Structure 1
Amino acid sequence: MTSLPQRADVVIIGSGHNGLVSAILLARAGLDVVVLEAAEVLGGATRTEHPFPRVPGLGQSTGSYLLGLMPPELLRKLDVDIPVLRRDPHYFLPTPGPAGSPYLLFGSDRAATRAQMERFFSPRDVAADEAMAVEVAALRSDLAPAWLREPGSIEEVADRHIRPALQSTFIDLVRGSVADYLSRFGFKSELLMSMYAVTDGISGLNAGPDDPGTGHNFLAHNMCRLPDADGTWMIAAGGMGTVSRMFADAARSAGAQIFTGTPVSAVTVDGGAASGVALADGQTVAAPVVLGACDPFRLIDLVPPGALPATLTDHLASIKKPGTTMKVNLALRDLPAFSCLPPGAASPFGSTIHLLPGSAGLAGGAEGESPMAALRAMWADVQAGRLPEEPTIEWYLHTTVDPSLQDEAGHHSSALFVQSVPYTLAGTTWDEALPGYVEKLLAICDRYAPGTSDLVADTMPLTPPGIERHFGITGGHIHHVDNTVAFNQRMPYATGLDGLYAGSAGTHPAGSVIGAAGHNAAMRILKDLGRS
């Protein structure tokens, strides 16, 4: 145990993964770094918890749940080797039918994936899927260096990083909608389009598939470049808390001090510059540099009124949106059984399991409106404050790939990642509506895997307001700033108040477990201090 110092070179507000990345780099540069975390556990939303009272030994990544977008160059620079487990297959698209009904298992066996697509969809869909994969891979390769630099405008990024043949495509994608981008490739199946739109385009957004900027989110979610990832997202062994723990260990080894249960109440300002922080218990820590690794709106609230440039605060107010993501963490007594899978089929667990409106149509069943129309109807419900009757669900069950999280009784941790729900409900409250809506979501699971509801030993549902309370993220928005906002329109690393910096998911390049923001903010601080 060490006592809180009265002075430091740098105070970092928040111990999310970005703040810890900054702490590593700044401490290694010889600065005296103090990290202050309001919660009793470090990691922000990148944590492993034991949240189930009825199954106390079961571990769960309660917030972020996959590692995909962290640049390998950053991990090499940090000299941190996070143990990751590959998901193969990585996508599972079931149908609510009996054994022998169509399904898709996308994995490393490209020939098998292509055969499934030809069988259940069409050669046109195969060609569209392959053409999109080639283009996205080229954009991913070109854009990668931009993530570890200060941001430019969309056009500046295109001119500097994107090959000439794809510059117009890049600009249109980042500014445009995911629906427009997907339609370029000529998919015949709307179900395939809706799968990509949900998992990459509108994931975590306060937006529908036709909204400008959803293309930026799609591109950001396709920046998977970890070794052996093959463009997919990976499971962190031991849950996402492993990421935070390893970064924290590296920061402490470099000399940084990390304090949990230490909420900051204000950034102090003296002579027109940040001078440190005041804590909720009345203590202060003086520092010429303060780095907000909390969300940008929380950081603004900590600064005295008028201390930040009005152009910045007005811009941030104009792009501020609440979260529309719901996560239902589940403890399961046993593995669910998907009715469409024949005996001997490959295990779908570990993959992203897509429960999409319209999937019954793949098996020839009546489904009502088309898959893309269902996404648009879902978004219309959210805008009206209604809980969608047919939300899209990404279902995860990682303990078959990472059994280290299981308890002695062999329970499995699982989660439903639901897009989209309102932050505020019209005509009711989340307290009133939540139990019934969790039952509805589990009933949807029962359509695909009958009896799933009976396997649930405990739940930890997190609505958008629940995400706000549990992780301390303003508005419960998991990306801090909506990923429809790209590049230099996000929170800047240098805030315009001398000595005050920002380095969370709300800055460049995007929201997710990336770490680039923490790196870039630290590099900007070292440059301004003349220590680069």
Structure 2
Amino acid sequence: MISTGTDSADAVVIGAGHNGLVAANLLADAGWDVVVLEATAMPGGAVQSAEVTAPGYLSDLYSSFYPLGYASPVLAGLDLPRYGLAWTHAPDVLAHLLPDGRAAVINRDLDRTAASLETFAPGDGDRWRHAYADWAQVSGPMLDAITTPFPPVRGGLGLLRQLRVGGALRLARRLVLPVRKLGAELFTGEGGPVLLAGCALHTDLSPEEAGSGVYGWLLAMLGQQVGWPVPVGGAQRITDALVARLTERGGRISYRATVDRVLTARGRAMGVRTVGGATWRARRAVLADVPAPALYLDLVGAALLPPRLVEDLAHFRWDGSTLKVDWALSAPVPWTNPAVADAGTVHLGADLDGLTTYSAELARGEIPATPFLLVGQMSTADPTHSPAGTESLWAYTHLPFRRHWRAEDIARQVDRMEDVLEAAAPGFRSRIVGRHVAGPAELEQGDPSLVGGALGGGTAAAYQQLFLRPIPGLGRADTPIDRLYLASASAHPGGGVHGAPGANAARAALARDRAVTGGLYAGVIDAAHRTLYRDDR
């Protein structure tokens, strides 16, 4: 029971990550009274910045470059520039440095990208142009489909009108191709395929896995279309804008308020309880920007859920753990190949076969002997990140998923990461004036949603996407508990700073509230979940 005198709001949002803040903003736009309960001392989740390496050097603590955020219809609809958000670009979007010293480069100027790929094989420049033309034809409906609830009816119809049946079927095939196969079909030389594959490895998928091609294609083509921009002044500016917008509309955020229970009655979410016993009554909805296992098993409890759902959650797969290192450098990275110097993001440490080897080691639960690095040259992208003539640099690499790591294993992998950088930029180590290491435990401590250092809220594998995310039958924000909605990256469409899971949860809550009667709406949802999770063993 919720005690007399409990604080209340129309909606209680659990978690002030960017998805929770997006959801809260959209509900506040609809006139709802909204409170956000955040477990830590800061808003933003994995969208934060701070000086952690040396005075005057700003680091983005988790996420950094934002092609999906920049292109997202969800974030665009919030008009965040009005609240101080401004974007900037590195001279080059992305460079993939091969072990033999060659580099494939994406620049927002299509001619410059094509010229880079032409050095790998005659005709690959035109092949890139053709691949980009394919993307440009579908980018609008694709982004609409990605950022709306499943099934993406409007975006899907837009794609069908654009491509007709034959083109839509060819696109569907492309969406399930492994990135190695896609690269081989699109290009003759090594440059194009390795750009696509490096982008695909921003997820936990290998170059051989079904569906990895679409991630590589999406990120690479967005890089060509809009770049991979960063907020002027750091990732924190996205969070600051979302918070400012919410508070202007009367929304409230309570910090160090760790929710330990969703309170229910007769199958309906009634509010939440926080550690220490405080309760919040939700007059209309509870939205949870937390990982799916945490919501269902910890905050709701298995006893209140269909047994089949609980069984399916046992098979929920996290994406890999992550190790991130930030450095303060006294001067720019001394790359042997100057073509890499102007790229905001650098992929480093492997060719296509090396990426396959690296992914295989992760799949076997091994720590890769030669880590593949995703590197961010932040001062190159935004000079406000460090003093003039210096560089604020970060790199991260994937690890096998584990909840617990030995300090010596993390330290050894940091040495290997610096070895990879030193080999590509002799003298790199001599320019280090500060270092900050965030292993899986530190990432989770800073943002409890990054369980085991997993960045994506669950694997990007095809068997845990669309109507299978987070588990079969829960492909939308609705849950088996009426008025409770999943608003995190564990929900469709998954990880990335685009705000779609939060927006989808807000839309679902608003739709439920607009229903003719709550009983009718709840009855439909209950019937659907009984069908999906009936005990038919």
Aligned twin of 1:122: 121
Aligned twin of 1:395: 375
Please state how far the C-alpha of 1:454 moved relative to its aligned partner: 1.7
Output the amino acid matched with 1:441.
Answer: M
Q: Secondary structure at the match of 2:36?
A: strand
For the 8 Å contact 1:308–1:495, the answer to whether it is kept is no
Q: Percent identity?
A: 25
Aligned twin of 1:305: 302
Equivalent residue for 2:354, pick from 371, 374, 378: 374
For the 8 Å contact 2:141–2:155, the answer to whether it is kept is no
| Alignment TM-score, normalising by the size of structure 1 | 0.85
Output the amino acid matched with 1:86.
Answer: H
User: Which range moves more in the overlay, 269-278 or 428-437?
Assistant: 428-437
Alignment of 1:386-425 (within 5 A): 386-406=366-386, 412-418=391-397, 420-424=398-402
Please state how far the C-alpha of 1:238 moved relative to its aligned partner: 1.1
Output the amino acid matched with 2:500.
Answer: A
CA distance in 2, matches of 1:204, 1:63: 15
CA distance in 1, matches of 2:327, 2:305: 42
CA distance in 2, matches of 1:212, 1:375: 15
CA distance in 1, matches of 2:107, 2:371: 25
CA distance in 1, matches of 2:201, 2:99: 24
Aligned twin of 1:86: 89
Please state how far the C-alpha of 1:382 moved relative to its aligned partner: 1.3
Please state how far the C-alpha of 1:519 moved relative to its aligned partner: 1.5
Aligned twin of 1:362: none
Q: Secondary structure at the match of 1:291?
A: strand
* Aligned: 1:320 with 2:350: no
Q: Secondary structure at the match of 1:494?
A: coil
Output the amino acid matched with 1:373.
Answer: D
Alignment of 1:150-165 (within 5 A): 150-152=149-151, 158=156, 161-162=159-160, 163-164=163-164, 165=166
Please state how far the C-alpha of 1:180 moved relative to its aligned partner: 2.3
Aligned twin of 1:368: none
Please state how far the C-alpha of 1:278 moved relative to its aligned partner: 0.9
CA shift digits 1:394-431 (9 cap, x unpaired):
21111133222326x8753211122x321249xx9431
Aligned twin of 2:280: 285
User: Structure 1 pair 531/496, CA: closer, same or farther in 2 (3 Å)?
Assistant: same
For the 8 Å contact 2:440–2:452, the answer to whether it is kept is yes
Q: For structure 1, which runs of at least 5 residues remain unmatched after alignment?
A: 358-370
Q: Secondary structure at the match of 1:221?
A: helix
| Alignment TM-score, normalising by the size of structure 2 | 0.85
CA shift digits 1:211-232 (9 cap, x unpaired):
123234335535749xxx7232
For the 8 Å contact 1:85–1:234, the answer to whether it is kept is yes
RMSD over equivalenced CA pairs, Å: 2.8
Equivalent residue for 1:486, pick from 458, 462, 465: 465
For the 8 Å contact 2:319–2:456, the answer to whether it is kept is no
For the 8 Å contact 1:298–1:474, the answer to whether it is kept is no
Output the amino acid matched with 1:507.
Answer: A
Aligned twin of 1:356: 349
Q: Secondary structure at the match of 1:129?
A: helix
Output the amino acid matched with 1:423.
Answer: F
Please state how far the C-alpha of 1:210 moved relative to its aligned partner: 0.9
Aligned twin of 1:364: none
Aligned twin of 2:11: 10
Output the amino acid matched with 2:8.
Answer: R
For the 8 Å contact 1:269–1:304, the answer to whether it is kept is no
Output the amino acid matched with 2:292.
Answer: P
Q: Secondary structure at the match of 2:272?
A: strand
Please state how far the C-alpha of 1:262 moved relative to its aligned partner: 1.4
CA distance in 2, matches of 1:429, 1:262: 28
Q: For structure 2, which runs of at least 5 residues remain unmatched after alignment?
A: 471-475, 517-537
Alignment of 1:101-500 (within 5 A): 102-118=102-118, 120-152=119-151, 158=156, 161-162=159-160, 163-164=163-164, 165-185=166-186, 187-199=187-199, 201-205=200-204, 207-221=205-219, 224=222, 230-288=225-283, 289-300=285-296, 301-341=298-338, 348-357=341-350, 371-406=351-386, 412-418=391-397, 420-424=398-402, 429-472=405-448, 473-484=450-461, 485-491=464-470, 492-500=476-484
User: Structure 1 pair 406/504, CA: closer, same or farther in 2 (3 Å)?
Assistant: same
Structure number having the greater helix percentage:
2
CA distance in 2, matches of 1:530, 1:109: 47
User: Which range moves more in the overlay, 125-134 or 446-455?
Assistant: 125-134
User: Structure 1 pair 23/223, CA: closer, same or farther in 2 (3 Å)?
Assistant: farther
Please state how far the C-alpha of 1:483 moved relative to its aligned partner: 2.0
CA shift digits 1:465-518 (9 cap, x unpaired):
443333212232211022223322224301120111011122222310001221
CA distance in 1, matches of 2:122, 2:222: 27
Output the amino acid matched with 1:404.
Answer: T
User: Structure 1 pair 224/5, CA: closer, same or farther in 2 (3 Å)?
Assistant: farther
Please state how far the C-alpha of 1:175 moved relative to its aligned partner: 3.1
For the 8 Å contact 1:144–1:223, the answer to whether it is kept is no
